[in-house]
């Protein structure tokens, strides 16, 4: 075999060095670090804790099968307190901890505050819950395993108008980026519906308040027949309770973020009849979903919400991408995620060129103190 001259050896050495920097091998890592970011404390902590539980459960499943190329997956947890400012701080902390991907954040506003940091530094972020239309435009490393809010708002209105047969719509929304943008989307969709369907009143409230009676009084005086609640379970429950004290026949429609056991605990009999669209339904007879729900309930003492299921699938997508490319190179991982077709507990997932997904909604209603399918 012909020996390489000195110049050729130097060129090859340089190329090898360059490749080792751009394409870090899994074998060189002690563990594969994955971050989970969300509200682990505060009013919305159930969502962040659900994300953390789900990702750790998926990691345990992979680790029991040898991890990724024999390396253990190590899940690191970060509390962003559902604050955009804290979200940016957490994003910088995550970068310093050398993770290979991020599952989170929860709220669209926090996700959008943190995403530029991840994208600039070429770290994949998959939010299981961000629905603001501008979120995925932030960059090519930014994904959402959730639908854009217009599609979910359309599904909520479908329940209000076609299932409940109501035309006079009242909106009560939280004063957050997500609440403002979502209520605006609902109004625009109603304007296009025609057939006498109209928004008769809209009230904005501060998240976490205990008394919504002034807003409810305004909605009621406007002749509201069905209330679209743009908020989490901690808004849906008290609004339902307080509204039904003055009008027990009012219909309440929420969004998938209200689908939580906490809604039943906080609302009690007052949330009977509350309905919303969900991507994941824990009572499904599908064997994979039943297995996931049973395992989650056994480990954590409650049934997983739709967003928890989407976090579980998000982790599976990220782990699969890393395994498929056999590298921790972020560009390779990102490119593989765009190619993946993943059949998870929250349905089939295929990201488009923006990092968005299409999902099918199921209509759910609270009946006899439990979540049931809403029949046509």
Q: Is the pLDDT reported for residue 18 higher than 70? A: no
Q: Write the pLDDT tens digit of every residue in 125-140.
A: 999 999 999 999 999 9
Tell me, what's the pLDDT at 208?
80
Angle formed at CA 213 by CA 181 and CA 203, multiple of 5 degrees? 20
Rounded to an integer, the average pLDDT of 296-311 is 96
Residue 276 contacts residue 259 (beta carbons within 8 Å): yes
Confidence label for 28 from pLDDT (cuts 50, 70 and 90): low
Tell me, what's the pLDDT at 27?
64
Q: Write the pLDDT tens digit of every residue in 66-90.
A: 999 999 999 999 999 999 999 999 9
Q: Write the pLDDT tens digit of every residue in 334-360.
A: 999 999 999 999 999 999 999 999 999
Of 266 and 6, the structure prediction assigns the larger pLDDT to 266
Q: What are phi and psi of 334, to 5 degrees?
A: -60, -45
Q: Write the pLDDT tens digit of every residue in 86-135.
A: 999 999 999 999 999 999 999 999 999 999 999 999 999 999 999 999 99
Q: Is the pLDDT reported for residue 314 higher than 70? A: yes
Question: How far is 360 from 138, CA to CA, in rounded Å?
Answer: 25
Question: How far is 30 from 44, CA to CA, in rounded Å?
Answer: 34
Please provide the average confidence, as pLDDT, over all residues in the chain: 92
Q: Is the pLDDT reported for residue 12 higher than 80? A: no
């Amino acid at each position: 075999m012909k020996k390489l001259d000195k110049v050729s050896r130097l060129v090859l050495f340089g190329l090898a060095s360059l490749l080792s920097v751009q394409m870090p091998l899994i074998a060189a890592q002690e563990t594969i670090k994955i971050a989970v970011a969300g509200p682990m404390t505060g009013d919305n902590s159930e969502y962040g804790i659900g994300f953390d539980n789900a990702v750790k459960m998926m990691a345990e499943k992979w680790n029991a099968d040898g991890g990724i190329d024999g390396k253990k997956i190590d899940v690191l947890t970060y509390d962003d307190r559902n604050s955009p400012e804290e979200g940016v701080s957490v994003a910088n902390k995550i970068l310093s901890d050398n993770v290979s991907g991020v599952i989170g954040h929860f709220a669209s506003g926090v996700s959008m505050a943190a995403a530029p940091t991840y994208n600039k530094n070429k770290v994949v972020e998959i939010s299981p819950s961000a629905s603001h239309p501008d979120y995925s435009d932030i960059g090519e490393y930014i994904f959402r395993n959730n639908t854009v809010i217009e599609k979910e708002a359309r599904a909520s209105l479908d329940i209000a108008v076609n299932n409940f047969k109501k035309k006079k719509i009242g909106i009560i929304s939280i004063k957050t980026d997500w609440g403002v943008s979502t209520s605006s989307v609902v109004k625009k969709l109603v304007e296009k519906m025609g057939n006498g369907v109209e928004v008769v009143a809209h009230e904005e409230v501060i998240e976490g308040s205990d008394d919504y009676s002034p807003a409810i009084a305004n909605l009621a005086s406007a002749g509201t027949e069905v209330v679209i609640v743009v908020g989490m379970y901690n808004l849906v429950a008290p609004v339902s309770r307080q509204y039904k004290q003055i009008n027990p026949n009012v219909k309440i429609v929420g969004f998938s973020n209200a689908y939580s056991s906490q809604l039943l605990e906080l609302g009690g009999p007052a949330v009977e009849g509350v309905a919303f669209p969900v991507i994941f339904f824990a009572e499904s007879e599908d064997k994979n979903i039943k297995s996931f729900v049973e395992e989650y309930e056994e480990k954590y003492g409650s049934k997983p919400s739709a967003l928890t299921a989407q976090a579980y699938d998000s982790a599976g997508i990220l782990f699969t991408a890393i395994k498929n490319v056999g590298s921790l190179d972020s560009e390779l991982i990102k490119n593989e995620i765009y190619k993946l077709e993943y059949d998870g507990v929250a349905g089939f997932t295929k990201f488009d060129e923006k990092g968005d997904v299409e999902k099918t909604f199921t209509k759910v209603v609270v009946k006899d103190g439990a979540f049931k399918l809403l029949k046509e």
